[in-house]
Structures are given as structure tokens and as C-alpha cells.
């Protein structure tokens, strides 16, 4: 999925760059018609550059250079006593100018400045003939660097924006690591921990921050959040999603209910195309987030089989899958098949975080605070 998005965006980059180059040529033709002096200035530039190139060739060609030296050092007998014509026949080219990059850059800069002055004199912007790239850093190629090409920040940003629309993660604008505030959690003791609820959530935040910093090279590809409602599970999933999206990867977040409802309806309607489209997104996305696992409608073995297929396929492809559930670990064992729980509880590939404490949404309502996590 990420590769498809990247190709789509790069095609847009190519089209935009070609369109701007075409527009620049039209502006150039217009200006050359209306400012004759600009054409003369450019002809002078081309002539000077050609002369410099010829001088550089003469300088670097030992055969022609030696021949030139012989013809200069041994004139014909009839000319041995003649006075040389000062500054013409025997004048050497300005080799320093031809081979000095700094002088050539300065000369080019001056020519550019003269051209800009001519444009301004005739009422045009000084940069009217420049190619106006959307990103001057990568020149609308999407990549920067000479020997090693890396994604430009503009391409990473565009991938992230496109992925946001694809993932339906608009809520991450409010729910992310920057807005996470452990201070809203009470100092209630967390069962089985030496930390209180506020300290524990701060600890979780740092652990997940380290996880996203290491992405995609995490040894454990799955994350499972378990705990009752209102403890911050969905908020922290959104924190992870936003950080990974901003790295230029794709994320798809679905509630468990919507995921399995869509798969079930496709199977009922015998809509193979619809099921394949959804599964293509599920299996190709870099990170799949299934929120509220256990809230889906139970339909014999359908849900368990589909969930196992998703978890197993993504496990085999070494893809990341994040899940949250209000069920306890023992409830999950009762709710799903052994094959599903073997994937969910595989500690070699899954980080399991248990949430407990006071419902933060209930607490904020009691304190009259409209913000919640």
C-alpha cells in the first residue's frame, strides 16, 4: 500500500514539474518578444561561454597546445625580423578565467543580475524566468542528496497527509504524544504495580515513544492493549499512529465491529471484489490498528477465522499490528479460538500492556472538565 501511494505521489510530482517547465518556456518566449535587449544579452552570454570552452579545450589538448607553441615560437624566415602585432596574433587566451570555477560563477551571477534588472525595468518580477518549484529543496523530484538519495521532507509530508485520508485518523490531530497529559490521570494505585495510575501512564507513554522511534525495526511487531474503557487505550493508539504516519508509512485504523461487519456483509452478498479490496488494504498497509476487539458481533466461527487469517498473514509478512480490547486476557481466551490467542499472546512477537485504574472519562465528568483521554 505504501508503495502504491508513493508511486501515485511521484507521478503527481512529475506532472507538476513538467507543467511548470512548460509554463517557464512560455514566459521566456513572451519576454524575449517584448524585451529585445534580453535576447542580445543571452547571445552575448552564449558567445562568451563558447569562447571560454574553446580556450579550455586548447589548454587541455597537449597536441594542439604544442602545435600552437611551435607555430608561435618559430615564425617564418620572412617574419623573423618583423615586429609582432601587439595584442593580436600572439595573445594567449585567459587560461585563468577558463579554468577558475569561482570566476565563472561570479560572471554567471553578474549575467543573471543583468537579466533580472532588465526584467524589472520592463515591469516583470525579477524571478519571472525562474522555474518556480513547489519545493526548492528537491526541485519537485521528491528526493534530495547526490550519491545517496533520501526522501525530501515535502514527500514525507505528502505521504503522511495522503495516509491520513486513507486511514481515517483525523482524531490524531487532537490525540498525539504532544497533547498527551499524564496529569489528568489520578494517583490511584495500579493493581500489581508499584506505580500509581498517573505514573504508570507516564511510563507507558515513554515506552511507546521509544517504540515509534525504533519503527519499523522493532523486534516485536504486535502491540496489545487490554483493560476497561476510559483508561487511555485508544488515545495511545492514536499517538502511535500519528508518529508513524509522519515518518511516511501507511496506517489503517478500524474498529473491530466495522472490520468484521464489512467482511461478513461481503461474504453474504457474495461480493468477492469488495472483500478482496478490503483485505488488500488490510494485508498491504504498514500498520493495521484494530480498536475495541471483542465488540464485534459473534457469528459462529466466522470472526475467529477471519481474525486468525489477518493476524497470521501479517505475522508471516513481518508487518505491524496494534490491537486494543476491553476484555481481559482470560476473557480473550474464552472469546476466541486457541489459534487466535496463540498469535495474540505470542510474547516473542507481541508487547502486551495492561491498563487499569479509574475511568478517566468518568473522572473528568465528575470534575466538570470537558477534556479527556
pLDDT for 259: 86
Q: What are 363's strand-pairing partners?
A: none
Q: Say which residues have a Cβ less than 8 Å from residue 295's Cβ, sequence separation at least 6.
A: 255, 256, 257, 326
Q: What are 189's strand-pairing partners?
A: 196
If DSSP codes are grouped into helix, strand and coil, which group holds residue 352? strand
CA–CA separation, 212 vs 227, rounded Å?
Answer: 22
Q: Residues 20-54, buried b or exposed e (16+ Cβ, 10 A)?
A: beeeeeebeeebeeebeebeeeeeebeeeeeebee
Tens-level pLDDT at each residue, the chain (373 residues): 556 778 888 999 999 999 999 998 999 888 888 888 887 777 777 777 677 767 767 776 655 445 444 444 444 444 444 444 433 333 334 444 444 566 666 767 777 788 888 888 888 888 888 888 888 888 899 998 888 888 887 887 677 666 656 555 656 667 888 888 888 888 888 877 788 999 999 999 999 999 999 999 999 999 999 999 889 998 999 999 889 888 878 788 888 988 888 888 877 766 555 555 567 778 878 899 999 999 888 877 888 888 999 999 999 999 999 999 999 888 988 888 888 888 889 989 999 999 988 887 765 555 555 444 5
If DSSP codes are grouped into helix, strand and coil, which group holds residue 144? strand
CA–CA separation, 160 vs 158, rounded Å?
Answer: 5
Q: What are phi and psi of 293, to 5 degrees?
A: -60, 130
CA–CA separation, 246 vs 193, rounded Å?
Answer: 33
Q: Which domains does the chain have, with CATH numbers?
A: 36-121 (no CATH), 168-366 (3.40.50.300)
pLDDT for 101: 62
pLDDT for 286: 87
CA–CA separation, 347 vs 120, rounded Å?
Answer: 69
pLDDT for 129: 85
pLDDT for 319: 93
DSSP-assigned states of every residue in 32-78: HHH-HHHHHHHHHHHHHHHHHHHHHHHHH-HHHHHHHHHHHHS--GG
HSE-CB at 231 with a 13 A cutoff on CA atoms is 23
pLDDT for 80: 44
CA–CA separation, 135 vs 99, rounded Å?
Answer: 33
Q: Is the pTM of this model over 0.75?
A: no
pLDDT for 103: 64
pLDDT for 73: 45
pLDDT for 84: 40
Q: Say which residues have a Cβ less than 8 Å from residue 256's Cβ, sequence separation at least 6.
A: 290, 291, 292, 293, 294, 295, 296
Q: What are phi and psi of 317, to 5 degrees?
A: -90, 0
Report CA torsion sign: 261, 267, 269, 273. Answer: positive
pLDDT for 98: 43
Amino acid at each position: 500500500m505504501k508503495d502504491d501511494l508513493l508511486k501515485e505521489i511521484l507521478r503527481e510530482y512529475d506532472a507538476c514539474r513538467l507543467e511548470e517547465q512548460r509554463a517557464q518556456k512560455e514566459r521566456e518566449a513572451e519576454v524575449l518578444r517584448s524585451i529585445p535587449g534580453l535576447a542580445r544579452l543571452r547571445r552575448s552570454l552564449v558567445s562568451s561561454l563558447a569562447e571560454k570552452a574553446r580556450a579550455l579545450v586548447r589548454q587541455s589538448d597537449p597536441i594542439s597546445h604544442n602545435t600552437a607553441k611551435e607555430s608561435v615560437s618559430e615564425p617564418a624566415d620572412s617574419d623573423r625580423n618583423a615586429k609582432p602585432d601587439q595584442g593580436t596574433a600572439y595573445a594567449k587566451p585567459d587560461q585563468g578565467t577558463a579554468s577558475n570555477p569561482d570566476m565563472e560563477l561570479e560572471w554567471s551571477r553578474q549575467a543573471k543580475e543583468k537579466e533580472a534588472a532588465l526584467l524589472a525595468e520592463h515591469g516583470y518580477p525579477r524571478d519571472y524566468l525562474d522555474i518556480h518549484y513547489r519545493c526548492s529543496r528537491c526541485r519537485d523530484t521528491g528526493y534530495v542528496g547526490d550519491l545517496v538519495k533520501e526522501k525530501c521532507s515535502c514527500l514525507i509530508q505528502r505521504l503522511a497527509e495522503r495516509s491520513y485520508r486513507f486511514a481515517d485518523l483525523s482524531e490524531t490531530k487532537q490525540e498525539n504524544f504532544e497533547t498527551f497529559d499524564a496529569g489528568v490521570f489520578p494517583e490511584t494505585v495500579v493493581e500489581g504495580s508499584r506505580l500509581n495510575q498517573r505514573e504508570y501512564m507516564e511510563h507507558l507513554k515513554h515506552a511507546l515513544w521509544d517504540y515509534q522511534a525504533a519503527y519499523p525495526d522493532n523486534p516485536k511487531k504486535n502491540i496489545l492493549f487490554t483493560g476497561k474503557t476510559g483508561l487511555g487505550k485508544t488515545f495511545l493508539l492514536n499517538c502511535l499512529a500519528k508518529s508513524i504516519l509522519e515518518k511516511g508509512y501507511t496506517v489503517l485504523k478500524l474498529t473491530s465491529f466495522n472490520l468484521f461487519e464489512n467482511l461478513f456483509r461481503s461474504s453474504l452478498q457474495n461480493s468477492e471484489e469488495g472483500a478482496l479490496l478490503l483485505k488488500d488494504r488490510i494485508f498491504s498497509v504498514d500498520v493495521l490498528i484494530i480498536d475495541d476487539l471483542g465488540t464485534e458481533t459473534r457469528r459462529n466461527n466466522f470472526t475467529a477465522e477471519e481474525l486468525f487469517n489477518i493476524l497470521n498473514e501479517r505475522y508471516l509478512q513481518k508487518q505491524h499490528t496494534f490491537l486494543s480490547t476491553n476484555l481481559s486476557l482470560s476473557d480473550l481466551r474464552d472469546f476466541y479460538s486457541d489459534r487466535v490467542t496463540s498469535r495474540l499472546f505470542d510474547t516473542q512477537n507481541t508487547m502486551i500492556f495492561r491498563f487499569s485504574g479509574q475511568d478517566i472519562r468518568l473522572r473528568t465528568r465528575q470534575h466538570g472538565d470537558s477534556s479527556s483521554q
